[in-house]
Amino acid sequence: MSGSSEQSALCPAASGPLLGVDVGLTNTVALLRRPDGRSSPLLFDGEPVLPSGVLLDADGTVLVGREAERAAATDPHHFEPAPRRHIAEQKFRLGERDTTPTDLLAGVLGAVAASAIATLGTVPPTALTYPVRWGAAEQKTLRDAALHAGFTDVTLIPEPVAAVAAVGASMAVERRLAVVDIGARGFDVAVLAPVSGRLAVVAVGGDPTIGGRRIDAAIAAHIAAAAGRQRRDIWRAIDRPRTVDQRRAQRQFWADVRAAKEALDEAAFVPVSVPGTADIVPLARADMERFAGPVADRVARVTARVLREAGVKPQELDAVVLVGGSAPLPTLWTTMRDTLGVEPVQPEPPAFAMAGGALGRLAADLALPVGSPLATAAMGVPHPPRVVPPPRLPVAGGAFTRVAKAAARLVRRPVAEIAAPPRRAALPGPRQPEDGLPGLSALPAPRRAPAVPEPRRVQHVPAHRDPSQPYERATVAWTRFGWALVLVAILAVLCVAMAVLLG
């Protein structure tokens, strides 16, 4: 957070509007607080959420948000969906052009500044959130990007601090808290505890590979399985689009999947259409709970691990704060409660909790009246927090996983090499493609090999062997029972791996 000199510089603007901005890995949101105390989100193309994706076209123009996503259909190599993940790089290549994280983040923040100017006529004093893992160099990059975008008064607030401020004044300095920020691509866990009279972040962990998109992928696999293998041309185009129409279909498909996932918060089931067809696959809430179960378990286990490394027992926690766009995952609330024994707290709406908390924290620093009282205790990161790496599979389990994946690649042929249609006995009847729909071409008929004379079969006669020789006995035994030995070895490896994982 900014020091007293920055706060004194902002005090003349205490009676004016304020802005809180959360530049997320996938989406960016901003909340505007007016002088009368009312808060409302800034709109971007009529929506309160701005995609963080940036496209740098051939002319050097930076396109942001939905405009960048639309342009990515024709120019995917110049599109970066998550520019914040390059924050630690001095320079990186996007397509045929070199760029910097400052330029791309300035493009995202420039869209926020433009929306603020369209609403107020100016850019008010702003609070920007940042991950607590960032060092001084990453914070300077974010601050420079804000200055390039047109922001003049900027205060940086750590994300866990903003999340704690979002839940209100019940969070006293002497308490211990855990903040779980769950996004689309990953989640972070921060533990706050009193340090030298301040509520500070003492440990941080998480998993950058587990998030809401894991559930999106599970939903897509469910739809593909329900539609049948006859539609493999469609899924190939969704997975690896090559044309403009296929990229647009891919973007629309994932948008439909996310919309169905969000709709299941209130509905019992939601129909999801198979892309390029008139088929409808019903997605039930029970399916969502099944898909979200592994993600919720992973979040709970990593949270417990970070607490152990921080020396905080779950029963010592006063609250577990759930924030982020994927915080309303099914079964997450109950899984966290059952694992930690603490009732989670979830600000409404979770996707705006960071921006709202940063805005409230800035208002408290400037002594502005707010709708609900906020914690006035000093919060921050006096020392670098302890970084807890995510738990990994044991050596045996990891080795077995790598061997299994290698065997699967050898056994399973790529989809593009499958020329013949699947067997009809195990699948529903074939569907005729509809005229005029992209991606629905008839399945190619299997190519017939040219007629060649069948080679003359020669009966294999084993050589004469002396069964009294050890080598010959071993050869005969391996010929007859080798498959059984291989099967026993595989079962033994499986048993050892399961024992290590469960033990």
Please check whether residues 130 and 176 belong to one and the same domain. Answer: no
Residues 214 and 256 occupy one common structural domain = yes
Residue-wise pLDDT for 224-249, tens only, equals 887 766 667 777 777 788 888 888 88
Q: Check whether residue 176 and residue 205 sit in a common domain.
A: yes
Domain assignment of residue 430, yes or no:
no
Q: Structure pTM?
A: 0.69
| Domain assignment of residue 468, yes or no | no
d(CA 45, CA 329) in angstroms, rounded, equals 27
Same domain, 150 and 162: yes
What is the predicted pLDDT for the residue at 476? 56
Q: Same domain, yes or no, for 152 and 181?
A: no
Least confident of 280-289, 303-312, 403-412: 403-412
Residues 125 and 246 in one domain: no
280 and 133 in a common domain = no
- 279 by DSSP, 3-state: which? coil
Picking from 345, 373, 406, the residue at the C-terminal end of a domain is: 345
Answer yes or no: do 243 and 315 share one domain.
yes
**Any idea what the CATH number is for the domain that residue 234 is in?**
3.30.420.40
Q: Treating both helix axes as pointing N-terminal to C-terminal, what angle do 395-411 and 470-502 enclose, rounded to 10 degrees?
A: 120
* Bridge partner list, 129: 157
Residues 201 and 110 in one domain: no
Mean predicted lDDT score pLDDT of the chain: 75
Six-digit token string for 427: 């699948």
Token digits of residue 364: 């408290």
- 305 in the same domain as 293: yes
pLDDT at 405: 52
Q: Is 402 helix (H, G, I), strand (E, B) or coil?
A: helix
Residue 432 lies in a domain: no
Domain annotation covers residue 443: no
Identify the pLDDT of residue 277: 72
Residue type, 64: V
142 and 12 together in one domain: yes
Q: Whole domain around residue 36: which residue ranges?
A: 4-167+347-387
Q: Does 253 share its domain with 295?
A: yes
Specify the number of domains making up the chain: 3
Q: What is the per-residue burial (b if ≥16 Cβ within 10 Å, else e) of 123-144?
A: bbbbbbbbbbbbeeebbebbbb
- pLDDT tens for each residue of 105-156: 999 999 999 999 999 889 999 999 999 889 899 999 999 999 999 999 999 9
Q: Contact at 8 Å (CB) between 285 and 267?
A: yes
